[in-house]
Amino acid sequence: MKKLRGVFMLAFLPFVLMGCVSDEVVESETPVEPNQNKLSELTSTREHNREHLTLGDFTVLEGLHGFPGDQTDALTIEEAAAIGGRYVLDVLDDDLEGMYMEMTFNYNPHISHSTWIGNIAASPADFGREAEGFMPGLIVFTLDAVTGERISIFDSNVESVTTVGPLELLSEEERWALFPEPDEDEMALALAIAHDYAERHFSDSEVNTIVPGVYFGGTTDSAYFPSSRLHFVATGDGGKIIEIMIQRETMELFYLGVPLEILVSDF
């Protein structure tokens, strides 16, 4: 597994915060060029994983947070953990050998179904036990608690090289200086990588379309805004939609998931 890093999230609807994580970066002395070999690495690793990698032995713990609700029709904690582990392996190429997975059942009246939230870390102590939230481990994923459908996955290890404070404190000129609009080569590479990650998420269907932008108002807003991440919207051939965030410095996946507008009825 990758080196463990943590970020604070609330236990309920962690995917809300995932979609709203602040860009916290400053300009490095030497600009970081996107890794042009990343796509081929992803593709070859994915093919290798299909034949050779397994989930590994990991320990499942029951989370102390979340909102309780009727679990009559829900997957058991063991079933959800197995599905979530496969999600991690499919999308991030990470096995869970020796890791701990804290599974939290979360009932929320604002979404169509309850969810199982999986939080992965190297030891139980890394989860924290604060009353108002928890300290997630390397990876957090969310599943529909009834169907096991993949909702979102977040990799807290994928961060900017340098961090100092929220992007909101910078002037518009400073933001554009740090994050100019991507050129054709950078966008083409990021789009191809985002497409690959979308295919991994849509394990039971193909990617029908993928375009730059964010999902808002029932459509995709393709206007670029200065950010350390590039945003994409992908649609599967069954009509399912996800948003994808790719870190520009490393061309790694930061987050993907169902747009809140679709998931939360009164968002």
Instruction: Quote the domain boundaries for residue 211.
Output: 170-267
Average pLDDT, the chain: 78
Do 63 and 134 form a contact (C-beta atoms < 8 A)? Answer: yes
CATH code of the domain containing 149 = 3.10.450
For the chain, what is the domain count?
2
User: Are 121 and 231 contacting, i.e. CB atoms less than 8 angstroms apart?
Assistant: no
Residue 2, classed as helix, strand or coil, is coil
**72, 121, 15, 115 alpha-carbon torsion, rounded to 10°:** 0
| Residue 87: exposure state from Cβ atoms within 10 A (0-12, 13-18, ≥19) | buried
Contact at 8 Å (CB) between 221 and 214?
A: yes
- How high is the pLDDT of residue 156? 81
- In 191-237, which ranges are E strands? 207-212, 214-216, 219-221, 229-236
| Domain identity same for 179 and 215 | yes
Final residue of a domain: which of 113, 136, 157? 157
pTM for this prediction? 0.81
Question: Do residues 134 and 127 make contact, with C-beta atoms less than 8 angstroms apart?
Answer: yes
pLDDT for res 99: 92
Query: What are the angstrom distances between the C-alpha of 141 and each of 13, 31, 113?
Result: 11, 31, 15
- Parallel/antiparallel/unpaired status of strands 100-106 and 59-62: parallel
In a domain? residue 234: yes
- Burial bucket for residue 27 (CB in 10 Å: 0-12, 13-18, 19+): exposed
- On whether both 63 and 131 belong to a single domain, the answer is yes
Same domain, 148 and 178: no
Take residue 70 and report the two structure tokens written for it. 């009727």
Each residue of 125-183: pLDDT tens digit? 777 655 445 555 678 999 999 999 999 999 887 765 544 466 678 888 988 988 999 99
pLDDT reported for residue 60: 94
